[in-house]
Amino acid sequence: MSPRLRLLCVVLALAVCACVGMAQDAKHEAQLRTVRGVVVDKSSESPIPSAVVFLKNTRTNAVRSYIADDEGNYRFSGLDPNVDYEIHAEKDGAKSATRTISSFDNKKEIVLPLKLDKKKA
């Protein structure tokens, strides 16, 4: 086999590997999940702006946080569908119940309202 033909074969093999890798990345990205919702007062159901929402990966114990916007909205995206997560909100000493996002839940987008009991704070 000539050096030129060998080089062409190597280049083609690398191109095929790159295409397969990109297709797998696209497939994995399509499977990622999002969790979103609103942090509200438990009694009045009114939104609570600037509450801190904590999302814990139960496999690695890594915690991500998000400060709710002026309407109490929060959002976490890029979540691994094969991992369970725990989520709760806090503000001024008040804390919501911890909710679990199960890997058995096959929804791509999960909506979870988080309710703070401000009277207990």
pTM: 0.73
Domain that includes residue 43, residue range = 33-116
**Whether residue 43 sits in one domain with residue 19:** no
Q: How far apart are CA 121 and CA 16, in angstroms?
A: 59
**Whether residue 56 sits in one domain with residue 68:** yes
**Whether residue 96 sits in one domain with residue 65:** yes
Label residue 40 exposed, middle or buried (CB < 10 Å: 0-12, 13-18, 19+).
Answer: buried
Out of 15-29, 51-65, 70-84, 95-109, pick the least confident.
15-29
Q: Which two tokens stand for residue 2?
A: 């000539």
State the chain's mean pLDDT as an integer. Answer: 85
**Whether residue 108 sits in one domain with residue 77:** yes
Q: How far apart are CA 61 and CA 78, in angstroms?
A: 16
Residue 121 is assigned to a structural domain of this protein? no
DSSP 85: E
**pLDDT per position as a tens digit, 21-52:** 554 444 444 589 999 999 999 989 999 999 99
Count CB atoms within 10 A of the CB of residue 116.
Answer: 25
- Percent of the chain whose pLDDT exceeds 90: 67
Out of 16-20, 35-39, 70-74, pick the least confident.
16-20
